[in-house]
Structure 1
Amino acid sequence: MIIHLDIDSFFVSAHRTINKNLIGKAVAVGGRSNLSIFDNKSNIKKVISENNGAFVSSILSKNSGTFEEYYKDANGRIRGIITTSSYEARRYGVKTAMSVSEALMLCPHLIMIPPDYTLYHDLSQKLNKYLYTKTPHVEQFSIDEFFIDLSGYIADKEILDFAKELKEEVYNNFKLPISIGIANTKWIAKLATNDAKPDGIKIIYQNEVYEYIKDKPISAFPGIGKGYEKRLLVNGIRRLGQVRDKKELFYSWKKPGIQLYNRILGLDKERTLTRNSKKSIGIGRTFDPVQDRNEIKRRIVILCRYLSFLVFKEKVTPQTFFLKIRYDYKSKSKDYINTNRLFNEKYFKDAILLLFKKIDIHPTHYIIQLNLTVSNFVENNNHSFNIFEYENDKKNLELASKINDLRDKYGINIIKNAIEL
């Protein structure tokens, strides 16, 4: 069987490991877009997470200070959104993605804490390493979620006792409360975890799957996003139990539909993916509206520098570059390019600036968000690059490697592009 382990209110629980006074109180962690990377006077040495899970965004920072220093802007307005709230806070209606100001209206005594990503990633990494001492079949699904495949290691009749012992050991070793879902398949186990929360265990045996899922709304199932939810509703499917009689419909949607059908009914044979690697690396920022295109280009170059550093650290060679810009009033534009060249910071920066020029469909409008992603990684030794640019790219790559060695040692901001200044 497979265990799905989820740390309860992880960010809040992480802070409680170092501050016991927060236990039992209404607490929330809120986030604001970290715009310090756009400050040309800053040379704060960022931390690169050593955790290679696919969820890791990578450049970490610790935000400290008082509520006023972190959550209030220069005009005294309360900014930020709720990232995680304790169950004590949830009783007052405080929930993820709610604005901090709204949360404080619902719960005036709410304790708001600035995020400390170094703390979260450190605890996540330690827990990940600990779980590998129990079995080699561990998949880190997100910063606070893990799948553990116990097939062949623990008999089904002993798995509940194993889960209880694991819960106790994790709390004793890390002071982290966890909830556990158990089933024959990954996605039913993950679904069961929602019913185990908080701090509980829920086991679903194979012959119980249909009775368990039949009355649950389709939105409850992991992996059904808004797009698929709309598609299912159009076809009259509102409960998971209705899926069983719609096999032909799901199979007409080819591989994604077949996969979803099997996952919902607990028929899939998917096992844990041990030490899964990243399929993409991205960075983005949301900020107050900016109209000046020279300033937008400066920020794009900064994001390119940071993302290039992450590519250097991951030792990958991406062949797809993606850029998305979001304008004020929610309109957006996005596009990508495929390339066949050795990755280097100069080429990447130039390519993204050209892509921005192409997709900036409202050149007089204010922009509030930039997102960059690289993907489609290839092996340098097993890939045929553009022969006309190869030697030049190779020289730029060698230079970039030396520069990034310095950034790794002295901070990402130690060497910048002239346009950034």
Structure 2
Amino acid sequence: MKLHIDFDSYFVNAQRLLNKELCNTPCVIYAGSDEDFFNQDAKYIDNKIAFMSSIEVIRSENKVIDYRHFTAIAVSYEAKKYGVKVGDKLNIAYQKCPNLKIARSNIRFYKELSFKVRQFLESKIPVIEQFSIDEFFGDLEGFKKDAEVLDYAKYLQKELLDKFGLPASIGINNSKWGAKFLTDLAKPFGIRMEYDLSNAIKGIDIKNFAGIGREIQKYLRAYGVNTLDELLQKEYLLDKYGKNGKKIIARIKGVDNEKVEETKDIKSHAISKSFKPISDYDELRRRVKILARYLCVWISKHKYHPKKIEISIKYGNKLEHIGIEIMQPFDEKNLIDNAVKGFEILMKNTKNVSVYYIGIAANNLDKTYCENIFQNTTKNQKLNETLSAIRDKFGISCIKYGG
């Protein structure tokens, strides 16, 4: 059997370990507008959670809170009862819940706690896969009999609460993704085990199953398919999505046979920041270059070659993005130039807009590049290593490219 462990309101409950006044009361964890990130030199912090950002800045602790722009990134169950949601600006959250308590996020602490939890779970479960900062898959095959799994999950849930003060929900199924689906049904602080998913999926909206994104949702709803059981009655609708469509159907049926993997190849890495709306084109362009430079630091440290980058911006209620193919081994200046190029294309058809979010993702990451086409791979690698060493000593921003 496979299980999926997901910590309930992880950022909230982790923060409660630092501030007991947040316990048993409506509260949110908020993130600021990241102005510090663009005005101070950042540091590369060796991160033990591979998919989490390793770039950090020293934050200004005494900054006045701008309730119009600071955003709730985690919401306690007590606050959810008032209608407070992740993504709400603090002024909106206070309108919904006047007695709300707030706390600024402490991402480094959340990462360190997550790493300790992983070490604990590795001592209790033969095969562990960390799926996010607060989610883990486990494979108990050959370790526990099916009849013993439910009791063992109860034991793990109690241990996690006693040792770390973190409530968790657990889903159990023969399918990895079936277990994840059941975890959502078990929340908060519950456990749900099913051998057959056919009853569990009845009446469940398609948006609540991992892998069914907005595009597919829109497509299915156009054909009157709104729930998972309705989708299985018309599974042929996903034929147009090829292998991905077949994968989704297998996951819903609980027959995906996907393995719990201790280590997974990283195929993408992104960096993004939100800030107060800005219409100054030159300042936005500067911020694109800063984000691209910090993304390059991560790529260089891990010796990857991205084959595509994606640049995203948000303004008003719109999200615009563009992908650009990278046709050569990783080169910092080339990636930054392409990021700026993508930004300029996105901004070309907009007039006097105020952008409040920029994101840059490096996709299709690979450890090698075709040597017989590009003969300068070794030269680029040595240059990247030299730049990395200089930045380790003098700071990331000590090297910048003009233009």
Question: TM-score by structure 1 length?
Answer: 0.87
Cα 1:376–1:173, aligned 2, differ >3 Å: closer, same or farther? same
- TM-superposed CA distance for 1:230, in Å, is 1.6
| Deviations, residues 151-181 of structure 1 (Å, cap 9, x unaligned) | 2211110001110111111122211111111
Please give the alpha-carbon distance, in whole angstroms, between the structure 1 residues aligned to 2:396 and 2:149. Answer: 47
Q: 2:30 maps to which residue? A: 30
Asked whether 1:175 is paired with 2:165, we answer yes
State the SS of the aligned residue for 2:237.
Answer: helix
Identity of paired residues, percent? 32
Aligned pairs for 1:316-327 within 5 A: 316-326=304-314
Please give the alpha-carbon distance, in whole angstroms, between the structure 1 residues aligned to 2:307 and 2:204. Answer: 41
Asked whether 1:417 is paired with 2:400, we answer yes
Cα 1:360–1:22, aligned 2, differ >3 Å: closer, same or farther? closer
Q: 1:342 maps to which residue? A: 329
Which ranges in structure 2 are unaligned for 5 or more consecutive residues? none
Cα 1:324–1:79, aligned 2, differ >3 Å: closer, same or farther? closer
Q: 1:58 maps to which residue? A: 54
Cα 1:190–1:114, aligned 2, differ >3 Å: closer, same or farther? same
Q: 2:392 maps to which residue? A: 408
Please give the alpha-carbon distance, in whole angstroms, between the structure 1 residues aligned to 2:81 and 2:111. Answer: 28
Counterpart pick for 2:221 among 233, 237, 258: 233
Please give the alpha-carbon distance, in whole angstroms, between the structure 1 residues aligned to 2:380 and 2:244. Answer: 40
| Deviations, residues 208-246 of structure 1 (Å, cap 9, x unaligned) | x21221222222222222222222212222222223322
State the SS of the aligned residue for 1:377.
Answer: coil
Please give the alpha-carbon distance, in whole angstroms, between the structure 2 residues aligned to 1:271 and 1:188. Answer: 12
| Deviations, residues 347-386 of structure 1 (Å, cap 9, x unaligned) | 2223333343444323643351322111222333x62264
* Alpha carbons 2:36, 2:58 under 8 Å: kept: no
Tell me the amino acid that sits aligned with residue 29 of structure 2.
V
- TM-superposed CA distance for 1:185, in Å, is 0.9
- TM-superposed CA distance for 1:401, in Å, is 2.1
Cα 1:150–1:60, aligned 2, differ >3 Å: closer, same or farther? farther
Please give the alpha-carbon distance, in whole angstroms, between the structure 2 residues aligned to 1:185 and 1:378. Answer: 29
Tell me the amino acid that sits aligned with residue 59 of structure 1.
I
Tell me the amino acid that sits aligned with residue 189 of structure 2.
D
Counterpart pick for 2:287 among 283, 288, 299: 299
Q: 2:201 maps to which residue? A: 213
Which ranges in structure 1 are unaligned for 5 or more consecutive residues? none
Cα 1:21–1:354, aligned 2, differ >3 Å: closer, same or farther? closer
- TM-superposed CA distance for 1:182, in Å, is 0.9
State the SS of the aligned residue for 2:234.
Answer: helix
* Alpha carbons 1:63, 1:114 under 8 Å: kept: no
Cα 1:183–1:331, aligned 2, differ >3 Å: closer, same or farther? closer
RMSD over aligned Cα, in angstroms? 2.4
- TM-superposed CA distance for 1:200, in Å, is 1.5
Please give the alpha-carbon distance, in whole angstroms, between the structure 2 residues aligned to 1:386 and 1:14. Answer: 50
- TM-superposed CA distance for 1:61, in Å, is 5.1
Please give the alpha-carbon distance, in whole angstroms, between the structure 2 residues aligned to 1:140 and 1:247. Answer: 30
Counterpart pick for 2:114 among 105, 116, 124: 124
Asked whether 1:12 is paired with 2:12, we answer yes
Q: 1:162 maps to which residue? A: 152
State the SS of the aligned residue for 1:170.
Answer: helix
Q: 1:250 maps to which residue? A: 238
Cα 1:151–1:251, aligned 2, differ >3 Å: closer, same or farther? farther
* Alpha carbons 1:346, 1:396 under 8 Å: kept: no
Cα 1:252–1:330, aligned 2, differ >3 Å: closer, same or farther? closer
* Alpha carbons 1:317, 1:377 under 8 Å: kept: yes
State the SS of the aligned residue for 1:325.
Answer: strand
Q: How many residues align?
A: 402
| Deviations, residues 241-267 of structure 1 (Å, cap 9, x unaligned) | 223322333335421221111111222
Cα 1:11–1:360, aligned 2, differ >3 Å: closer, same or farther? same
